[in-house]
Amino acid sequence: MSNVELKLSRSNRIYCPSELLDGKIVIKLSSSISHYGVYLNVNGSVNLQIRGGSAGVIESFYGVLKPITIVKKRIEVRASGKIGSGTTEIPFSVKLRQPGEDNSERYYETFHGANVSTQYLVTVDIMRGYLHKSLSATVEFILESDKADLPERPIAPEMVIFYITQDTQRHPLLPELKTGGFRVTGRMSTHCSLLDPISGELTIESSAVPISSIDMHLLRVESVLLGEKIVTETSLIQTTQIADGDVCRNMTLPIHVILPRLMTCPTVFAGPFSVEFKVTITISFQSEVCKLYTKSDPTTPRLWLAMETLPLELVRTK
């Protein structure tokens, strides 16, 4: 039995570019083996792809673009020799960014998107020659911005006032919604820290039609440079229900949405790609028609929906 495991020093696996990536290689063997070196590989890259159906791209087109390399290191942890049976632990430490290296802007934060994905991996390889399969293990670690590069003071949430009525909608509505009318007002933070929730409030001032649900959808807007054109796609990250049922009129409802770590990152505007975010507040009204579209996209305009979309700028703070 041969087993190799990578254990990082931090259980949350979160590191900054200026910090040491350290841990230990745990090797469990039923019998001793000979090897030609134990190597540690650290790789970080931005992976870009274009999926069929994206705006401005032919439906059948599918393209994976060349990854943008952020960091690529290979270190010999142990020279060739033998590893005895039982459990062997080999400590390691890697400096991701060398002191004085002025390329902090290249170390984008970890992000798992639909078309843009920034990922950092550490892999151990125990080379055993042509007659034996190499032993290896891989672990993903999460990279965040250096605290030294972050603002000294915490940012103040930028609150934006919004209102939703039948006149603000750009899509067709049910006749009873157009004639009876409705009015929803509120305010929400649109410039906030990744460490803080999206906060705000809204009030149903009036509505002739009973309300079914009030939801807030967090969206990512990923843009990729393809040749001379920019392909942009918006996709849903998560949905948070603010209210269920026909809520009381003129009662203030709080908005409190925690951001998912791996699916969000600081808003990025780079040369070959960009990652932005926005939120859509959706008011669903009670209607028999909506029962025919139970599996529809919640952010797609429908006859029984009222919507308001706001841009969201995310930043990393200390």
**CATH of span 2-148:** 2.60.40.640
In b/e form, how buried is each residue of 276-289, taking b as 16+ CB within 10 angstroms?
bbbbbbbbbbebee
Tens place of pLDDT for every residue, the chain, 318 residues? 678 999 999 999 999 998 999 999 999 999 998 899 999 999 999 999 887 554 444 433 556 788 999 999 999 999 999 999 999 999 999 998 876 555 545 799 999 999 999 999 999 999 987 778 889 999 999 999 887 666 655 566 678 999 999 999 999 999 999 999 999 999 999 998 898 999 999 999 999 999 999 999 999 999 998 878 888 999 999 999 999 999 999 999 999 999 998 999 999 998 899 999 999 999 999 988 877 776 777 788 999 999 999 999 999 887
pTM: 0.87
Spatial CB neighbours of 279, under 8 Å, sequence gap ≥ 6: 188, 190, 198, 216, 217, 218, 219, 257, 309, 310, 312
Could you tell me the residue ranges of all domains in the chain? 2-148, 159-315
Whether the domain at 2-148 and the domain at 159-315 fall into the same CATH topology:
yes
Q: 159-315: which CATH number, 3.20.20.140, 2.60.34.10, 2.60.40.640, 2.60.40.1180?
A: 2.60.40.640
Element (H, E) at 310: strand 305-315
Neighbours of 131 (CB within 10 A): 5
Q: Which tokens is 309 given?
A: 């979309």
